């Protein structure tokens, strides 16, 4: 009994198709593994870090008003904030906010301009925080008393929202936070001590 050659043709045609499907599935699996490894290593979001590089007190103007004796201090704090981006992708931040507090009471604020920090790069932001006399009404006696003792302490709290962009379509929203406590000497009005805590909220 002889074998019919026509019966082997479908099998011969199926074999290349199965090989091609196997190759495609293998490539898809390899690409998946590569993407997974990259997602867990190179593209894993890292925390952008903010830090207060310098803070200088400027524009100190004591003012005494009559007939009721009232003492007030106009104080401006010049800030330089450093933003470090350790990611392999850019960090685009929106409008941030810095608050000036004295004894837990907000006495000034300023907007921080939006911008973009390149991958594995850094940038600085400058801002001026002015202590607003009308917000100090309840604490003015404490401020004057602290100033007469030789120093006073203010807090600066900064929030910078933004997102990390991977390959233009993978986006991770974060908020960089910096809280600093400054001890200002009197009468030099120089920053004697600076303690900061930095963190990032995903």
Q: Which two tokens stand for residue 128?
A: 């001026």
Lowest mean pLDDT among 21-30, 75-84, 162-171: 162-171
Q: Which two tokens stand for residue 189?
A: 């009005």
Residue-wise DSSP of 55-120:
EEEEEEEEEEETTTTEEEEEEEEEEEEEEE--SSSEEEE--EEEEEEETTEEEEEEEE--EEE-TT
- Of 86, 55, 96, 106, the C-alpha closest to 164 is 86
28-50: b (≥16 Cβ within 10 Å) or e: eeeeeeeeeeeeeeebebbbbbb
pLDDT tens-digit profile of 46-76? Answer: 778 888 888 888 766 555 554 554 555 677 8
Residue 17 has pLDDT above 80, yes or no: no
pLDDT value for 70:
54
Q: What are the backbone dihedrals phi and psi of residue 58, each rounded to the nearest 5 degrees, phi first?
A: -140, 165
What does pLDDT average to over the chain?
Answer: 79
Residue 8 has pLDDT above 70, yes or no: no
Cα separation of 190 and 45, whole Å? 38
CB 49 within 8 A of CB 117: no
Neighbour order of strands in the sheet with 70-84 = 49-65, 70-84, 122-131
pLDDT value for 47:
78
Pairing of strands 90-93, 191-201: unpaired
User: Once rounded to an integer, what is the mean pLDDT over residues 35-44?
Assistant: 65
Residue 166 has pLDDT above 90, yes or no: no
Structure pTM? 0.70
Element spanning 142, H or E:
helix 140-149
75 against 127, higher pLDDT: 127
Other residues' Cβ atoms within 10 Å of the Cβ of residue 176: 25
Q: What is the CA radius of gyration of the chain?
A: 30
61 against 162, higher pLDDT: 162
User: Once rounded to an integer, what is the mean pLDDT over residues 177-192?
Assistant: 87
Tell me which fold the domain 49-201 belongs to.
Immunoglobulin-like (2.60.40)
User: Once rounded to an integer, what is the mean pLDDT over residues 11-33?
Assistant: 78
pLDDT value for 56:
83
pLDDT value for 97:
92
């Amino acid at each position: 009994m002889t074998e019919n050659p026509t019966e082997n043709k479908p099998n011969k045609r199926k074999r290349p198709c199965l090989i091609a499907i196997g190759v495609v599935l293998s490539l898809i699996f390899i690409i998946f593994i590569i993407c997974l490894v990259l997602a867990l290593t190179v593209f894993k979001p890292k925390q952008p870090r903010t830090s207060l590089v310098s803070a200088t007190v400027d524009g100190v103007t004591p003012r005494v008003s009559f007939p009721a004796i009232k003492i007030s201090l106009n104080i401006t704090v010049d800030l330089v904030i450093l933003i470090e981006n350790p990611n392999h992708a850019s960090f685009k931040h929106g409008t941030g906010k810095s608050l000036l507090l004295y004894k837990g009471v907000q006495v000034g604020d300023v907007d921080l301009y939006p911008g973009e920090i390149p991958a594995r790069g850094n940038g600085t932001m400058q801002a001026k925080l002015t202590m607003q006399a009308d917000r100090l009404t309840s604490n003015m006696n404490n401020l004057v008393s602290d100033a007469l003792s030789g120093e006073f302490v203010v807090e600066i709290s900064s929030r910078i929202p933004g997102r990390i962009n991977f390959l233009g379509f993978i986006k991770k929203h974060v908020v960089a936070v910096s809280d600093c406590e400054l001890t200002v000497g009197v009468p030099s009005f120089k920053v004697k001590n600076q303690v900061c805590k930095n963190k990032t909220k995903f």
